[in-house]
Amino acid sequence: MTSTGQDSTTNRQRRSRHNPHSPSHNSSVISKRGVKKGAVPRSSPSLAEVKKKGRMKKLSQAAEQDLIMGLQELDLNLEPKALSGTGLVFEEQLNEFHCLWDDSFPECPERLHAIKEQLTQEGLLDRCISFQARSAKKEELMLVHSLEYIDLMETTQYMNEAELRILANTYDSVYLHPNSYTCACLASGSVLRLVDAVLGAKVRNGMAVIRPPGHHAQHNLMDGYCMFNHVAVAARYAQQKHDIQRVLIVDWDVHHGQGTQFTFDQDPSVLYFSIHRYEHGQFWPHLKASNWSATGFGRGQGYNINVPWNQVGMRDADYIAAFLRILLPVALEFQPQLVLVAAGYDALQGDPKGKMAATPAGFAQLTHMLMGLAGGKLILSLEGGYNYRSLAEGVSASLHTLLGDPCPMLESPGAPCLSARTSISCTLVALKPFWEVLMQSAETLEEDCVEKDKEEGPWEPPVPQIMAWPMLCARTGLIYDRRMMNHYNLWDNHHPEMPQRISRIMCHLEGLGLTERCLTLPARPATDAELLTCHRWGWNHLTAHQCSSHASSAEYIARLRATENMKTRELHREGANFDSIYICPSTFTCAQLATGAVCRLVEAVLAGEVLNGTAVVRPPGHHAEWDAACGFCFFNSVAVAARHAQAISGHALRILIVDWDIHHGNGTQHIFEDDPSVLYMSLHRYDHGTFFPMGNEGASSQIGQAPGVGFTVNVAWNGPRMGDPDYLAAWHRLVLPIAYEFNPELVLVSAGFDAAQGDPLGGCQVSPEGYAHLTHLLMGLANGRIILILEGGYNLTSISESMAACTRTLLGDPPPLLGPLRPPLSGALASISETVHVHRRYWRSLRIRKVEDKEEEPSNSGLVTKKEPQPANPGSAKGMARPEENILEAGMGKATSASPVEESIPGQAKSEIATVELAKDKSLEGTTPYIFPRNLIESLRTLELSNKTQKAPDSQTPEEKLLGEAAGGQDLDDSKLMGFGDTDEATFYAVTPLPWCPHLTAVCPIPAAGLDVTQPCQDCGSLQENWVCLSCYQVCCGRYINAHMIQHHEDLGHPLVLSFVDLSTWCYHCQAYVHHQALLDVKNLAHQNKFGEDMPRPH
């Protein structure tokens, strides 16, 4: 038989923006049939007898040469030692500045004090390699900032408090101190120190615990607590000094890093990814450029990625989904050589500004995912975070992960919410033209196949998680026993399932020094009781007919044991009774030992003896049925191990079994198909049912049986040549989303390597590096408790290199760099999409919908921007909900007006009003014009330092000063007192309405007949608590009567309604009251109808 050699197109780089001169990749898929396991997937009459007997003839000399040449082209050199160690810069001098005129300013020294206390308490400072901070030089800062701006900041060292305050007030949400410039230079230099250490191979990764933050700072503009943009300077520095060509910047601060975006929005050498609170422009910095539609300009188009959150309360599942569906696929196509993170922790639960619900464990997951990129060259730079406890725990979690500690389990992972899935879909649509990996990223969702998504209920903060980091004596367990080589084919020395498979793997692990790094565990045979947990009669998935027609599995075990004393002819006859099986006198002992070895490794992992493990065992097991040997397999090792784990844990432990063997694990599927405690996911060649084990068992339509429906997931490849891009696409789009939603407590991998390059049976092209990446991504699950169990794989070189790559990853080494990746094959995407389509009804994480490629923002024509009175604390401005300012703030971060108009508002100081004339320009209707940031920066020169500072009223408390963002972006003075109840002494509630909402465009002109506030509900005739719809002006009763207005909204989708009781306006989409100029006419008409006079207006 001839082997399936490496495809000639493997080394061809795809035609893309990154390599435009390479030839296009031939993505045609050739279907090959397989009848017996062990047969080459190629039809040939001369193979009939071989297929029937399930054995393989010796490779011809020509085929051997082809195989050797193919393997020589593989990059299998994994010998260089991986770097270790995490660098840390923590400089006490960075605490020597604070706000002189407001002790309650959120960006304060206490932030670093809390972090240091947490890191000291957990012993992390001693585990890291400390680096002394240094000041960034002017020429380094000038890589991003103008000399004029740097010189201006330098002069602040010599200013008095009044001068500092005047200058600070010309910017948005900043303060200045005589030490601000020194500390900002030191903060930037700290990140540069780590860049030198990581790229100079002194440490693997690092973290800079610094302040002030930097990601809002622009070319010549302070903004949002930031003076110099540390990550932007570090990216340019890495490119200039270390000849780095591609840098990925990930910004997970809850505020959009507009400064970083504007620095690189025309540069294809820096990929910027930001995930932030946006709320349709209501949240600071209120920029249109913060939305998903901002993808960059010119050559940089597609290299700017924004994932805007449009509601508060976003959780770990939302962030993880954005990373899996957008960031990781694009980053692997981009192939960064360095990853920088603007690591703000104000999205953590409890932060007064972010109001999100992410957890430290969630940030550990994000950090772990990023460690798989750029060969592990990852640097985190502290940005925001203003709840001291959350901030300290978030930094600690990220640092634990950088040090190689396992990610804590997520308490309530769930699935991404509907709002998150919508944002992700919008971003995918915007990026689709620029990245080949996203070309088919969202499938059409058929409503008849999926239960209609329901809006999530009111957000309730989860109970804070108590973080626990396991203390382990050893990281990776390794189990192997030479006695398993005693199982061999008496009639065919060249049968693919040969003893040398495990000995070659062990020799290679020893040669690379990996066995010394592992804890070697002794193997033991499985007991009959352990085997009978899976190999016994009467499993409830069998029908009565099947139970009566199958022999007892206890008899099956006895039958296999009896082969120890059979003669050669009897062994041959007994093997022929099964599908693709050979038996020798040692077969039973070896199969029993292989299964027991895996059970021993499970015991070690669950007992905390090791974190994870590798089982180099044979014969394989995943084809073995409960009562029959099949496909080289006798006892189903992974299934028995799963049952053993549940038995020793004392409960139905949630177990994920991932089967990446090229053949479908029919035995494993059948054993667990009615069990919701075990999620079985298989990626295998199916070839429309013609590839071993044949039939429809491996089809995507096989989903399990009640109550295990949805817990069997099959990705059925219908052809050869599947490689790294195809498996990674399945991981990002299907395997990991379901796995995180399932939240396993243990991960078992049926690790067959017959999908590897050069395997004679699989005909696929997964590289050792690809297997390493698959392993790394699974390690984020189950608190890192993952075990790889050898299944198939029949090219001795490929199987050895692949297992070595996976073992290195389990030991904590970063996955090796992948070569240039072609796009996923169209056949692979079709298979993935088919499985996604089948399982959407069971897993909400798969319901990423296609959306129309259009902006979600309302028309901004005729808007009036209102500049709030400048409080004594400029920090309150960060987060102010003034979305109209996005017209002026595109590059400034602050709206200014040459001709302010004085307007008096009751209970409020006089405000400046800047009128924006947009209504005259019809072309601007429905859009917010994008003003090029570098042009807007020039307006900084018009600011006068002689402006008088505006003082807050003496009666304003520090809490009130800071309430701008904490209260959702409004001052208390904007609150409206509303009375409810019919009692003599009504109870009044202070409600803070939104000053704007994105659904105001739904308000239609008032009907010619006007309004009648006494009109009854059109459905029930009630006269109590009625509302009028501002889109169609129908009148219905409220939620406390018969809820007909709610029903009206659900039926027609009209968002805004006006109460006839108190004349308040409610938006169902925003779930909030709204008070805006566009509503004044209808409110005034209702007021006239109700009280016979106009509504009072501000003077």
499 or 1077: whose pLDDT is higher? Answer: 499
| pTM for this entry | 0.75
How confident is the model at residue 223, as a pLDDT? 96
Please tell me what DSSP assigns to residue 339: E
- In one letter, which amino acid is 845? S
How confident is the model at residue 461, as a pLDDT? 55
pLDDT greater than 90 at residue 610? yes
Contacts of 634 by beta carbon, 8 Å cutoff, 6+ apart: 560, 581, 587, 588, 591, 619, 621, 624
Q: Which range is least confidently modeled, 81-85, 270-274, 285-289? A: 81-85
Tens of pLDDT along 682-716? 999 999 999 999 999 999 999 999 899 999 999 99
Tens of pLDDT along 622-652? 999 999 999 999 999 999 999 999 999 999 9
Question: Which of 436, 355, 346 has its CA nearest to residue 395?
Answer: 346
1020 or 990: whose pLDDT is higher? Answer: 1020
How confident is the model at residue 299, as a pLDDT? 95
Mean pLDDT along residues 507-520: 97
Tens of pLDDT along 986-1005? 444 466 788 887 788 889 99
How confident is the model at residue 439, as a pLDDT? 79
Burial pattern 465-478, b for ≥16 Cβ within 10 A else e, equals bebebeebebbbbb
User: Is the previous residue joined to 707 through a cis bond, with omega within 30 degrees of 0?
Assistant: yes
How confident is the model at residue 1097, as a pLDDT? 67
Q: Which residues are catalytic?
A: 216, 623
How confident is the model at residue 466, as a pLDDT? 63
pLDDT greater than 80 at residue 933? no
Is residue 130 within 8 A of residue 209, CB to CB? The reply is: no
Backbone angles phi, psi at 341, to 5 degrees: -120, 125
Q: Using 50, 70 and 90 to split pLDDT, how confident is the model at 812?
A: very high
Tens of pLDDT along 843-885? 999 998 766 545 544 333 333 232 233 333 333 445 433 333 3
Rg (CA), the chain: 32
Distance CA 518, CA 1090 (A): 80
Tens of pLDDT along 724-773? 999 999 999 999 999 999 999 999 999 999 999 999 999 999 999 999 99
CA distances from 168 to 834, 943, 975 (A): 57, 11, 28
Distance CA 28, CA 447 (A): 32
